[in-house]
Amino acid sequence: MIEELTRNVKAIHDLERAIRLWELVRDSAEQVVNETMARYEKQGDSIETNQRVARARAYIASCNTSILMAKARIDELVGGD
C-alpha cells in the first residue's frame, strides 16, 4: 500500500511538472500569435491566411489537450482509481 501511494505521489508530481511546462510552451505560442496578429492588424491584412499562426494555434490546442489529459489523470490518482 505504501509503495502504491509513493508511486501515485511521484506520478502526480511528474504530471504537475509536465503541466507547468506545457503551459509555458503554450504561452510562448500564444505570444507568437498575438504579436503576429498585432502586426497584421496594423497593416490591415487578414491573419487567417498566415500559416505560422495556423500552426501555432494547432500547437496551442494540442498543449491544451495534453494539459487537460494530465489534469484528468491527476484526478484519477487522487481519487484512487
Q: Which class for 3: exposed (0-12), middle (13-18), buried (19 or more C-beta within 10 A)?
A: exposed
- Residue 18 in contact with residue 63, Cβ under 8 Å? no
pTM: 0.82
Residue 47's pLDDT band (cuts 50, 70, 90): confident
pLDDT of residue 81: 52
Q: How many domains does the chain have?
A: 1
User: pLDDT, tens digit, for every residue of 21-44?
Assistant: 999 999 999 998 998 888 887 787
All three cell numbers of 1, joined, read 500500500
- Our CA dihedral for 55, 59, 65, 67, rounded to 10 degrees, sits at -160
Q: Give the phi and the psi of residue 56 in degrees, each rounded to 5.
A: -65, -40
- Domain of 8 in residue numbering reads as 2-79
